[in-house]
Structure 1
Amino acid sequence: MEVLNEFIRLNLDSIYVLILAIFVGVEVIKHIPAVLHTPLMSGANALSGVVVVGALLIMLQADPEDYLSLGLGFVAVVLGILNVVGGFAVTGRMLEMFKKKDK
């Protein structure tokens, strides 16, 4: 418990920035018009792809005995891949709505 308290005390500024970024991100996303969702989803897919590659590179450089780094890297890879796949699925569905139906 002392290690966690020390970590929080040393990184308090970063924690405040993270919390503020979460609140700002939620507010920005809530006010985006529906027309812009597909392009933004494509951008999010690209960023998630970068997250996956970055997590894999970090995991390759981590010490094999450092289970925390490996575990967090694994979680980052899994969540990034889920975000990419889900984003492409949603984008595909939205693009299907704009196709002309054949009679």
Structure 2
Amino acid sequence: MAGPLDQLTEAANAAADASERVAELAQELAVAAPELGSAMGHGAGVSPFLYLFAAFVLACFVGYYVVWSVTPALHTPLMSVTNAVSSVIVVGALIAVGVDTDLASGWTPLFGFIATVLASVNIFGAFMVTERMLAMYKKKD
């Protein structure tokens, strides 16, 4: 019987394989899209937004399949990792809030504030879920 560490390793390997496939598909798209655009009569090719949007959609699919393949026993350790990632996001968002508006657009501090709030909600919510899951493993009196 595979232990939680083996299951986590399998999930990580599946995520790595999926991300490699996404990178391959993005590379194929990057090579084929200008040719496709010129074949359709558009001399300028495809806008860079389309490349970024395609990568975003592919990342959403990869994330969905990785998250739903996690067993419940691995949920608590993965929540801890999510907290660590969200804390890095909070640091970046706080930097964005403090950006001098002369150097950036006026939207940068606003988006930095929104990112700070959302990442903070994610961190505190993850701690609450983790605490509740750990309470399920405690012996009842």
What SS does structure 1 have at the residue aligned with 2:138? coil
Partner in structure 2 of residue 97 of structure 1? 136
> What's the TM-score once normalised by structure 2's chain length?
0.62
Deviation track 1:36-63 (CA, whole Å, cap 9, x = no partner) reads 0000001001100110011111221241
2:140 corresponds to which letter in structure 1?
K
- Bigger radius of gyration among the two: 2
Q: Which runs of 5+ in 1 are unaligned?
A: 1-7
Written as runs of structure 1 = structure 2, the 5 A alignment for 1:1-103 is 9-63=47-101, 66-102=105-141
Deviation track 1:43-101 (CA, whole Å, cap 9, x = no partner) reads 00110011001111122124167332122111111110000000000000000011112
Partner in structure 2 of residue 3 of structure 1? none
> d(CA) in 1 for partners of 2:124 and 2:65?
24
CA RMSD of aligned residues (A): 1.8
Give 4+ residue runs of structure 1 displaced > 4 Å after superposition: none
Q: Which runs of 5+ in 2 are unaligned?
A: 1-45
